[in-house]
């Protein structure tokens, strides 16, 4: 994987494979030097328990990993008064930390509770899709680490990418479609 023009980075998540080991959470904290102490312990990514599904004896606990959805119609970018929040040409929602005045309107605007004030940097932070790694030809740390391969990352504009093939072959959903945010995270049904 390497950075080229006209890419659209997305993540496909298969929640049925998630075992809630939280390796992705730890990998993200380590990669992005995030202290575990602070307002909450979820930060850039987290796992939600969605309860038990199935009928006895075929029961299974369901988990749903989540993070910033890198919306293509991002309310956080629209409300930011300093343009600190912006979209890259390849579909990633990013923050220019130097421009953030910590007004927190983006925190209120995000329907996914994906943003928080960093206890370390004192400005607003969230998942970056490990943008620094993508441009080194690497996968995001959470994708690289997941032992059960829940997360698949790639270029939706490449018809031969694994994400394109998965979305062509499988049923999927996005979180809170009624918000009209057009997320870049797709969950396999
Ligand atoms: Fe912005 Fe929230 Fe969408 Fe991320 S999930 S792009 S922070 S609105
Ligand atoms: Fe789930 Fe993979 Fe994260 Fe473990 S690393 S909690 S299996 S998504």
User: CA torsion sign, 145 to 23 to 133 to 44?
Assistant: positive
Considering the domain boundaries, does residue 118 fall inside one?
yes
How many domains does the chain fold into?
1
13 within a domain of the structure (yes/no) = yes
Task: Specify if 2 maps to a domain.
Answer: no
Measured CA to CA, the distance from residue 18 to residue 22 in angstroms comes to 9
Q: Examine residue 138 and state whether it is found in any structural domain, yes or no.
A: yes
| Distance from the alpha carbon of residue 109 to the mean position of ligand 1, in angstroms | 8
Chain segment 35-57, per-residue pLDDT in tens? 766 555 557 999 999 999 899 99
Query: To test ligand 1's pocket by mutation, which of 108, 115, 118, 184 has the most ligand atoms within 8 angstroms of CB?
Result: 115
* pLDDT, position 6: 86
Nearest-CA residue for ligand 2 atom 4 is: 21
Q: Please tell me the predicted confidence (pLDDT) of residue 123.
A: 93
Q: Which CATH number is 172's domain given?
A: 3.30.70.20
Q: How confident is the model at residue 118 (pLDDT cuts 50, 70, 90)?
A: confident
Residue 1: inside a domain: no
In sequence order, what are the residues at sequence separation of 6 or more whose Cβ sits closer than 8 angstroms to the Cβ of residue 63? 15, 18, 19, 20, 47, 48, 49, 50
For 24-35, the pLDDT digits (tens) are: 999 999 998 887
Query: Of 42, 65, 68, 92, which is best to mutate to test ligand 1, by the most ligand atoms within 8 angstroms of its C-beta?
Result: 68
Residue 31 belongs to some domain of the structure: yes
Q: Could you report the per-residue pLDDT of 161-175, keeping only the tens digit for each?
A: 999 999 999 999 999
The reported pTM is 0.91
How far is the CA of 131 from the CAs of 19, 92, 173, 180, in angstroms? 26, 8, 24, 24
In-domain check, residue 86: yes
| pLDDT reported for residue 51 | 94
Give pLDDT, residue 42: 56
In whole angstroms, what is the distance from residue 48 CA to residue 106 CA? 22
2: pLDDT strictly greater than 70: no
State the residue range of the domain holding 77.
9-188
Q: Ligand 1: distance of its center to the CA of 106 in Å?
A: 8
CB 115 within 8 A of CB 178: no
Type and span of the H or E element at 50: strand 45-55
Question: Does residue 35 lie in a domain region?
Answer: yes
Higher-confidence position of 74 and 2: 74
User: What separation in Å is there between the alpha carbon of 145 and the centre of ligand 2?
Assistant: 8
Ligand 1 binding site (Cβ under 6 Å of any ligand atom):
68-71, 74-76, 93, 110, 112, 114-115, 126, 181
């Amino acid at each position: 994987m390497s950075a080229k023009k006209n890419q659209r980075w997305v993540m496909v998540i298969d929640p049925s494979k998630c075992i809630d080991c939280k390796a992705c959470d730890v990998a993200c904290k380590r990669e992005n030097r995030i202290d575990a102490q602070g307002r909450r312990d979820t930060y850039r990514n987290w796992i939600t328990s969605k309860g038990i599904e199935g009928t006895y004896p075929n029961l299974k606990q369901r988990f749903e990993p989540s993070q910033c959805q890198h919306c293509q119609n991002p309310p956080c970018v629209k409300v930011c008064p300093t343009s600190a929040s912006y979209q890259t040409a390849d579909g990633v929602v990013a923050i220019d930390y130097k421009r953030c005045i910590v007004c927190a309107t983006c925190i209120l605007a995000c329907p996914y509770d994906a943003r928080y004030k960093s206890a370390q940097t004192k400005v607003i932070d969230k998942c970056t899709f490990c943008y620094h790694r993508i441009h080194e030809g690497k996968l995001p740390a959470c994708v690289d680490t997941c032992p059960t391969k829940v997360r698949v990352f790639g270029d939706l504009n490449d018809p031969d990418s694994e994400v394109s093939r998965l979305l062509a072959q499988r049923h999927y959903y996005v979180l809170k479609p009624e918000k009209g945010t057009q997320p870049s995270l797709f969950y396999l049904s």
